[in-house]
Amino acid sequence: MTERPTYAGVAESLRTATNLLTAISDTPRLDAELLMAHALGVARQDVLLDPARFVVPEHYTHLIARRMAHEPMAYILGYRDFWTLRIEVGPGVLIPRPDSETLVEACLERARERGAGWPSRVLDLGTGPGTLLLAVLSEFPAATGLGIDASEFALAYARDNAAASGMAERATFRSGDWGNGVDGPFDLILCNPPYIADAEPLMPDVADHEPREALFAGADGLDDYRRIIPDLPRLLAPGGAAVLEIGARQRAAVTALAEAAGFAVACRRDLGGRDRALILTRK
């Protein structure tokens, strides 16, 4: 008869992994627990509530080694939770950030101002794996949306995420170069473009793994805003709003671009108190 594994086996593995990950992660214990749950194919709470049920999988050490090499947790797990959704991601796709939920909050605030029935049609420029578009559509069941991205690889993830979240009939995705060739009008336009300056240093998790084209935008990080913002008046319906993510120190520069294009601009800060979302409306 096989002896039942003891708590110490799981506990010792988690302690060892946590000690190893302390040098490269801000959340070493959480990483260790999530990777254990992933290796076992169970939820993290199952491991924590009844660890004696489980034998530590042999490939757990391989997962820890991948994390030690600064591979993002989202790539190892194959997903990142965002808003109320689980977004499937993988190497070559920009990983959703909690700070980007600020854009969804800004959309909900605008919807309260506009009243029932708004928005009806949503555009997400640079949709990646569909993160913002699907989060917003989940809050507005009557709305439909179009996601545009230059990466066919990212669009494949977006379509899978739409199907997994039950929104494949409401979310359409296609390849494109920002708004070029897109016909409006849209009540709501979302955009989280690349906004990091070319020379800005990044953590190895990001710099060595995530797609460069989704991160960097010229010497000052504003190249894509200069292309996107002047095209927004053509795409935006009367009474509509465009919600753009910005870097924490880009409010003044991007606001100037938006005002030059004829928009009134408001700003919403993220949970860390940093400028994060600009809300553009017609003056």
Q: How far apart are CA 205 and CA 165, in angstroms?
A: 28
pLDDT tens digits for 222-243?
A: 999 999 999 999 999 999 999 9
Structural domain boundaries enclosing 207: 80-282
Please tell me whether residues 38 and 99 are part of one structural domain: no
Please tell me whether residues 17 and 109 are part of one structural domain: no
Asked whether residue 74 is assigned to any structural domain, the reply reads no
Please tell me whether residues 54 and 88 are part of one structural domain: no
Please tell me whether residues 96 and 40 are part of one structural domain: no
Cα(first)–Cα(last) distance of the chain, in Å? 76
Q: Tell me the pLDDT band of 4, cut-offs 50, 70 and 90.
A: very low
pLDDT tens digits for 161-205?
A: 999 999 999 999 999 999 999 998 999 999 999 999 999 999 999
Q: At which of 36, 69, 102 does a domain end? A: 69
Please tell me whether residues 50 and 119 are part of one structural domain: no
Please tell me whether residues 177 and 156 are part of one structural domain: yes
pLDDT tens digits for 138-169?
A: 999 999 999 999 999 999 999 999 999 999 99
Please tell me whether residues 162 and 206 are part of one structural domain: yes
pLDDT tens digits for 112-145?
A: 999 989 999 999 999 999 999 999 999 999 999 9
Number of H helices, E strands in the chain: 12, 9
Longest alpha-carbon distance in the chain: 76
Please tell me whether residues 112 and 34 are part of one structural domain: no
Enter the pTM of the model: 0.92
Q: At which of 46, 69, 92 does a domain end? A: 69
Asked whether residue 85 is assigned to any structural domain, the reply reads yes
Asked whether residue 2 is assigned to any structural domain, the reply reads no
Please tell me whether residues 272 and 135 are part of one structural domain: yes
